[in-house]
Structure 1
């Protein structure tokens, strides 16, 4: 019996400023729609989450790929991971440079190497070996990223003390289940502005039901480190959740050709897709 395909995406949990709010909503809607069109046509959850995250990496509204923030040296270092529930395969890359779509490279690591993660110089050497497309750093750096980095340099303060941590950008991601019942997820990030060179963040969280897993993870974060965040979850049966404790998180999901999306706490809009 076929499973009902579902995809959920997010564009980062943080205090999204008003000038990025509409772009963020449009971006996650586009990513979710793209991913679901693959599922609706019989594609795999792995293909869907990769495509959705690529959309977000190509959108400068998000801290991934073309919209990534700058590290302490004013450079771009990117991280990404992709996981295939069908065979429990994983591919990850960290601290890579000059690659616009790290999620594609993470999948390449998963499928073309015996390793789970490649990082830094070694990862980029592998990219050169297989002739993976390179993108000049200048094409990945946005005007907003430069302005934000310059503020840190001007005041010479740490990333945690200069601004409220909710002002920091965040990871983008997607999770999906396809008609065959296989799940997959992918994330991509440029990290946080003025991060130490070589810094790698983020880790997967595995929980119970979607809502309970999401709420428990966020509650643990709040109690343990007084932090805020957000996450998306989909269960084997197609139940999904998008939860966050930050001021805003752009998210979108598609099931039964119904697009759900939101940005602010308690907000949920719906649109019928014509696919």
Structure 2
């Protein structure tokens, strides 16, 4: 009887440790089915699923959440479908300036880069800052020099050019009031829980179409665009960055859980549907808590998103 009891307890511990979760977003905005072709819709679903599968493979094999976050985001950065990496939008001066951040919930270590123009995968540069430098945030030429010294892939800025993003810039320049909401809110991000109980989050973006003066949004700001803490949750945000910075959105969700005793879903809804909406901001978050619960909350018409949990199939979504 005693042997049976210990066997049951041991199996329960093993089962608990083997839980993993990965949740992804690819940007939020005015995403309506009537404006989407069936072919384009399928492309988004397939790329989200592909990215999630890459991250899941790492988690399923006992890999770390930070590894899964970086690998997943790299798939999205390499796709012209999303406003990050290859699909980054253009600034007013016709360049691509990208931002990214990553955070490890096990020790609150974090790294970020902003306004970089030639780093193929900004999320990898952010991780190098986290692990190989004493700093949290590096910008511009300094961040690019650091990335090169770390052996990351440096590309000609022309690599980031895509015809659709270039046309969006010209359209906005012609009539600046005619701004596509997707261009304002395009960002990619991931939150993950590994089987060791560690959380991590990361975010990468090309920012806002037609941005000027070296503008930097929330994506590389720890506590605004990205946050992870093993005691609470991991969160990645997408939206109008100025509002997310002012509200410290991702950190606020964690704080409401830690000190307000709210669940992840309750905290996320309070921040997005109450605080952010009241201030006039739009966007959303994807998140996972220390127990593996997921929240995907947004106040826009749609958000490219998806998730997978241990023992379950990958699911992807677009519309509200």
Same fold by TM-score greater than 0.5: yes
Q: 2:190 aligns with which of 174, 182, 188?
A: 174
Instruction: Tell me the equivalent position of 2:99.
Output: 79
Range with bigger deviation, 104-113 or 20-29: 20-29
Secondary structure in 1 aligned to 2:319? coil
Instruction: Tell me the equivalent position of 2:210.
Output: 194
Instruction: Tell me the equivalent position of 1:18.
Output: 36
Instruction: Tell me the equivalent position of 1:247.
Output: 301
CA–CA separation in structure 2 for the residues paired with 1:182 and 1:35: 15
Instruction: Tell me the equivalent position of 2:288.
Output: 234
Secondary structure in 2 aligned to 1:134? coil
- The offset of 1:169, in angstroms, is 3.8
- The offset of 1:123, in angstroms, is 0.9
Residue 43 of structure 2 corresponds to residue 28 of structure 1:
no
Secondary structure in 1 aligned to 2:269? helix
Q: Is the 8 A contact 1:3 1:237 kept in 2?
A: no
CA–CA separation in structure 2 for the residues paired with 1:179 and 1:243: 24
CA–CA separation in structure 2 for the residues paired with 1:192 and 1:214: 24
- The offset of 1:192, in angstroms, is 0.8
Secondary structure in 2 aligned to 1:258? coil
CA–CA separation in structure 1 for the residues paired with 2:206 and 2:183: 15
- Give the TM-score, by structure 1 length: 0.90
- Give the TM-score, by structure 2 length: 0.78
- The offset of 1:151, in angstroms, is 1.1
Q: How large is the Cα RMSD of the aligned pairs?
A: 1.5
Bigger Rg over Cα:
2
CA–CA separation in structure 1 for the residues paired with 2:132 and 2:182: 37
Gaps of 5+ in 1: 266-275
Give the number of equivalent residue pairs: 260
Residue 23 of structure 2 corresponds to residue 8 of structure 1:
yes
Residue 236 of structure 2 corresponds to residue 221 of structure 1:
no
- The offset of 1:9, in angstroms, is 0.4
Instruction: Tell me the equivalent position of 1:150.
Output: 170
Instruction: Tell me the equivalent position of 1:268.
Output: none
Alignment of 1:199-214 (within 5 A): 199-202=215-218, 203-204=224-225, 205-206=250-251, 207=253, 208=257, 209-214=263-268
- The offset of 1:152, in angstroms, is 2.1
Secondary structure in 1 aligned to 2:315? strand
Relative CO higher for 1 or 2, CA cutoff 8 Å, sep ≥ 6? 1
Deviations 1:53-75 (CA, angstroms, capped at 9, x unpaired): 01110111000000000011110
Q: Is the 8 A contact 1:210 1:240 kept in 2?
A: yes
Q: Is the 8 A contact 1:13 1:244 kept in 2?
A: yes
Q: Is the 8 A contact 2:89 2:183 kept in 1?
A: no
Residue 83 of structure 2 corresponds to residue 63 of structure 1:
yes
CA–CA separation in structure 2 for the residues paired with 1:180 and 1:128: 32
CA–CA separation in structure 1 for the residues paired with 2:78 and 2:168: 20
Instruction: Tell me the equivalent position of 2:61.
Output: 41
CA–CA separation in structure 1 for the residues paired with 2:121 and 2:183: 24
Instruction: Tell me the equivalent position of 2:239.
Output: none
CA–CA separation in structure 2 for the residues paired with 1:249 and 1:137: 28
